[in-house]
Structure 1
């Protein structure tokens, strides 16, 4: 099942009102702005979309809203981040019914599965829908690795088509391509290993910081695609202090604060997350303001 997925897919945020209900208009505005800024697709209701902080009905409302506002301009993929396989299957079916273009499938939350359990979870969700699926490998966050044994066992599942690779070891890109050739489309999934992934054959980049700085992200991937590595390195080196934030536990708060500073959203998050405060908040504000004043592509914010 080949896809048109390539390029920059920001892991878009979900926007909240002051009472922490979902602000659908602001959420739609954020999706629309990213598309107009040139991204190649959207990931919604992933980690940055605070998937596990939303009720099932709220998730379905967001799915309807993104399909409406994007209107097929780019592919829309939703995270499938549930506590068990039954819930994951139900949500995947709801996403397909809503008109979503694909799924980013995570291991079941909290429980650390054995290899055979991980394979069975992925297979059960894939067999419940016809949508193309990107598996999300993030061993530091989810304490399980989607390794060669898992991908070998799933090679016969036609709609499992891609892997978002968020292990911090860039050797994984080459190992996966050597092992599977073109069987799986590989995406870089950790912001501060993105250029390495693209250089080593990743088809695209699922990015957190793109939500605050989309112009630079789009140009970085475009430069890599045309082989202009000098330009790609220039942007990457400017971007790197912020890209490192994607590997921190407070990545959602830092990305939403960056969005707020750049006039692209609100920093409001749902508990147990809390907005940044004290020295950490001051540190992030200084980093974002420095990046905004020196940005190599988009309009500078002085």
Structure 2
């Protein structure tokens, strides 16, 4: 089981590879886990928003988690995402994940229904009660409307299983506000790719990343340079990376990032309906960003990280 300190570092939220007929490719999951661990990732997050959680069944999520655990073989922790419509199902998945050997959980508010503060807190506590696993509380009001603020984290602080916060409000002011309100009670992790450097400078200890799936070494280099206080060097890589990081924004971020992975790594770009593959000008725009990035890719050897 993970401890609080284990949430430092870069955590790829991997995509869920699909076969041509939109079935989950478990070997593709294993290949992704090995690719990221070999590149230096500190842990792997499965079945998140980028992993198309909304289109996966309960059993598929468990199978993906087991495949990831098998591939990791104890080298790095696997973190399962809990993003369910019903609190009961979220709690069941949390319990099942612990049974399967998952190391930690990333928990979102219940989907679809816009719960009030009391309901949201009750949901998180019910999921926490279902297992002994440490939990990253995921706040993403941009995508999911429900907005957890500093007062919420203070109210939830009595539950020791809540050890970290994935802060994805796209408002870097929140980082300082959380730190002022609850001090070092939680580890704060940035979840917005194109605000990652700024967020790390402000005190985030980890980066739950998206474009890392195609560019792990560049992502990890930025993280290590910032943590070492080498901000100007980190900025050199980050400014090259920003057009690519912008692919992690908008309704079609899954399609965009899977296409980027396909161009860079040759992996499957297939998404599961209702998502459809990018076409026309949308596809051309993503290809242009990725191809420009590859053409101008920085030489990481000069940074020594």
Using the size of structure 2 for normalisation, the TM-score is 0.96
| Structure 1 residue 207 corresponds to structure 2 residue 232 | no
**Cα distance in 2, alignment partners of residues 264 and 187 from structure 1:** 29
Structure-to-structure mapping, 1:186-225, within 5 angstroms: 186-225=188-227
Residue 74 of structure 2 corresponds to: 72
The range that moved more, 240-249 or 127-136, is 240-249
**Cα distance in 2, alignment partners of residues 173 and 59 from structure 1:** 31
**Cα distance in 2, alignment partners of residues 42 and 294 from structure 1:** 28
| Structure 1 residue 81 corresponds to structure 2 residue 83 | yes
Task: Give CA deviations for 1:211-236 in whole Å, capped at 9, x if unaligned.
Answer: 01111001000100111111110111
**Cα distance in 2, alignment partners of residues 188 and 45 from structure 1:** 18
Task: Give CA deviations for 1:264-299 in whole Å, capped at 9, x if unaligned.
Answer: 521100011111001010000010011011111469
Following TM superposition, the consecutive aligned residue runs of length 4 or more in structure 1 with deviations greater than 2 angstroms are: none
**Cα distance in 1, alignment partners of residues 257 and 45 from structure 2:** 15
What secondary structure sits across from 1:134 in the alignment?
strand
Report the RMSD for the aligned CA atoms in angstroms: 1.2
Residue 42 of structure 1 corresponds to: 44
**Cα distance in 2, alignment partners of residues 124 and 233 from structure 1:** 41
Aligned residue pair count: 299
Task: Give CA deviations for 1:95-141 in whole Å, capped at 9, x if unaligned.
Answer: 11111110000010011110000000001111111100001101111
**Cα distance in 2, alignment partners of residues 89 and 298 from structure 1:** 43
Residue 257 of structure 1 corresponds to: 259
Contact 1:5/1:75, CA 8 A, preserved across alignment:
no
Quote how far apart the aligned CAs of 1:152 are: 1.8
Residue 92 of structure 1 corresponds to: 94
Contact 1:216/1:297, CA 8 A, preserved across alignment:
no
Contact 1:212/1:264, CA 8 A, preserved across alignment:
no
Residue 270 of structure 1 corresponds to: 272
Residue 34 of structure 2 corresponds to: 32
Cα separation, partners in 2 of 1:264 and 1:195, compared to 1, 3 Å: farther
What secondary structure sits across from 1:262 in the alignment?
helix
What secondary structure sits across from 1:156 in the alignment?
coil
Quote how far apart the aligned CAs of 1:244 are: 1.5
Contact 2:221/2:300, CA 8 A, preserved across alignment:
no
Structure-to-structure mapping, 1:287-298, within 5 angstroms: 287-297=289-299
Residue 179 of structure 1 corresponds to: 181
Quote how far apart the aligned CAs of 1:2 are: 2.5
**Cα distance in 2, alignment partners of residues 41 and 264 from structure 1:** 23
Contact 2:94/2:127, CA 8 A, preserved across alignment:
yes
Task: Give CA deviations for 1:240-274 in whole Å, capped at 9, x if unaligned.
Answer: 11112212111111010000001252110001111
Quote how far apart the aligned CAs of 1:30 are: 1.1
Structure 2: tracts of 5 or more residues without a match? none
Alignment counterpart, residue 138 of structure 1, candidates 131, 136, 140: 140
Structure-to-structure mapping, 1:108-123, within 5 angstroms: 108-123=110-125
**Cα distance in 1, alignment partners of residues 246 and 279 from structure 2:** 19
Cα separation, partners in 2 of 1:232 and 1:298, compared to 1, 3 Å: closer
**Cα distance in 2, alignment partners of residues 38 and 9 from structure 1:** 10
Contact 1:215/1:297, CA 8 A, preserved across alignment:
no
